[in-house]
A and B are shown apart, each in its own frame.
Chain A
């Protein structure tokens, strides 16, 4: 678990460093996430092992990750508190914000659900056509 946490911190550090020095507008933690994903995929491809545990660098990674993800909601509670202490928010800005949550969210949800449902059915049909 502690080793796993160190591995995560290592990738976080590398990601932050790349984000700072390259001036790329991508958040450092996302660069770290993509680097870790690439490393795990590469390792799986090269050594054909699925679980990240065989090498010291990867021990405890699953435990550390599930621990952090399990408590993710706790971790961003302080950021949400900021919603109640916004200095420049006026009433006329709350209307568009609420509208976005109440209108844009169901709109995107329904559109993506219908689209993907259609695409998956096409995909299933293609596979069964190929087999027959």
Chain B
């Protein structure tokens, strides 16, 4: 393909993301409207609009974006550092943390798959949505292994994160939960990176527990889910 087009398609992501970030920081709407207009919702919309209006095909864009996909793997490895820094919390609070992790990570997958299956989702759709509570780079790795559509997985994961991070703190208020460790761990488990960013707004402790939960949920789901799906397909 033409090098110039490749370059433009690569730059398109950078431009769209910068515009989305600028809009996000500039926007002075209510907190809820603001967090639903997350750069991760706006930037892909901008890129898609540009691709459709310039009549460019998605496959060329996907090819030009290969460096992003590669670095996503590197970023997954980098998640080991916050996980390492927060690891001591597991020793202090082993029982509540690990029990919530095992229950929450399984419940997230089971509830999603059950609801989708009842509403008539096909196997392909079920595969793509099953890693929905896992941080996007890991979810994409899982989708590749179990054969889920990459775009659908990324979209569902991001929307889950944005939705969870927006309404999570409201639910905590309703349920009378005041412990920042619980808020953080639950946000990281359910709403991965988006939830962790939100958790750091609440307090540093909340953020630390959120990044811990995000890493642990990602690792646990990545190890368990592909095996379970392999067994179910037999």
Contact = CB atoms under 8 A, between A and B. Distances in A.
B151 A82 contact: yes
A8 B84 CA distance: 14
Interface string B10-42: 000110110000000000000000000001100
B72 interface: yes
A41 B154 contact: no
B115 A104 contact: yes
Interface in A25-47: 25-30, 32-34, 36-37, 40-41, 44
B77 interface: yes
B222 to A, nearest CB: 4
Interface residues of A, number: 74
B177 interface: yes
Contact of A80 (B154, B181, B230): B154
B111 A114 contact: no
B13 A77 contact: yes
A107 B68 contact: no
B13 A78 contact: yes
Contacts of B97: 116
Contacts of B61: 78, 81
Given A69-B79, A83-B152, A120-B182, A75 B72 contact: yes
Given A12-B74, A111-B107, A80 B151 contact: yes
Nearest to B189: A112
Contacts of A11: 77, 80
B78 interface: yes
A86 B120 contact: no
A33 to B, nearest CB: 5
A30 to B, nearest CB: 4
A132 B87 CA distance: 29
Interface in B107-122: 107-108, 111-112, 115-122
Given A72-B75, A76-B68, A103 B115 contact: yes
11 contacts: A25-B145, A26-B145, A28-B73, A65-B78, A75-B68, A75-B71, A81-B58, A82-B150, A97-B156, A100-B116, A115-B104
The 4 A-B residue pairs with the shortest CB-CB distance in the complex, in nearest-first order? A82-B151, A27-B141, A83-B155, A25-B226
